[in-house]
Amino acid sequence: MATSAPLGSQDTGIVHVVGARPNFVKAAPVVSALRGRGAHQSVVHTGQHYDDRMSAVFFRDLNLPTPDVDLGVGSGTHAAQTASLMVGLEREFLARRPGMVVVYGDVNSTVAAALVAAKLQIPVAHVEAGLRSFDDTMPEEINRRVTDQLSDLCFATSPEAIGHLAAEGVGPERVHLVGNPMIDTLLGNLDRFDSEALRARLDLPERYVATTLHRPANVDDADNAIRLTERLHEIADLIDVVMPVHPRGRDAFARAGLGDHPRVRLLEPLGYLDFVALTRGAAAVVTDSGGVQEETTVLGVPCLTLRPNTERPVTITHGTNQLVTETDLVQTVTKVLHGHTPERLGDGVPPLWDGRAGERIASVLTQWSR
């Protein structure tokens, strides 16, 4: 590669592309660390999550700068949404001519930004590279693999990700084990997650199972939604169930009658601080979210992931997470409520999940030249 001005100078700024709530949590410590180093940077919000409760409240909670631009892409099929993202991002990159585009996670905004930047010969850095579920029915799995192949810098959150990248031909000079910036955000806000105050404000029971479900395999099929509703009602026979309802599953669960059980409390989507407070105060969490698997690992809250696989196996070996199916969900919740949880390796915290990932990423980015 030809050498030019150091990344972060005025003529080769860093553009962060975010589009969905998990991106915001991962980007916050990176943006903050780069700000401390005086890097010239901007934030492009694609608007993939566009409701205030799914987007703007996260910027406020995390002290992220107001996005320099909001593309307002909104929802749609994968093809339509990705195409709209690429058109809007190409326009922004041509106008800004960044020296580096930083993308986060595995949403459509991530792969769209990587594709556009690569075709414009702009270096790409992928935060959370190398995660693999090996389940191609998950759109996120396709996004991860494509993004990593296009990325000049692959920032891995856990050791197994390095092996996945190596198996796919990603050179070691492109890979950096930095830890997990989502955990930076978690640890940096521990004193703001007030579970007791949240319970009082929302009139929640003292003991409950928190639930969040949004994966297509769980909520897009009406029969699956009905079966899950039946299982959640069985859990509610044992303990109160509190569920912030993701927009993706709202209609399916409403038709299935999820809220008909007197001990099921359905909430609107919560901001970051409120959601983690809810999780922190739960007796257990039932989820299909990758980020929740990570947060519960550090918080020490039992996590039951309603999926046949996970791209975050470190949350099982080092954390509180375990995979469950719809058929064994109630039985596993019952065991957890009676104190039966799997043993964790070591102290239960994966390597480098120490609150300094953002600084490590910023250090690599500011030394990068092209």
Instruction: Using alpha carbons, list the distances in angstroms from residue 40 to 32, 37, 206, 211, 368.
Output: 12, 9, 46, 40, 14
Is 214 one of the annotated active-site residues of the chain?
yes
Helices 181-188, 21-36: inter-axial angle, 10-degree rounding: 80
Q: How far is CA 6 from CA 2, 99, 100, 131, 297, in A?
A: 12, 9, 11, 29, 37
Among candidate residues 214, 233, 338, 340, the one labeled active-site is 214
Q: How many CA atoms lie within 13 A of 249 on its CB side?
A: 31
Within 8 A by CB and 6+ apart from 293, the residues are 287, 303, 305, 310, 312, 315, 319, 321
16 burial (CB, 10 Å; 0-12 / 13-18 / 19+) is: buried
Query: What three-state secondary structure class fits 163?
Result: helix
Catalytic residue annotation:
214
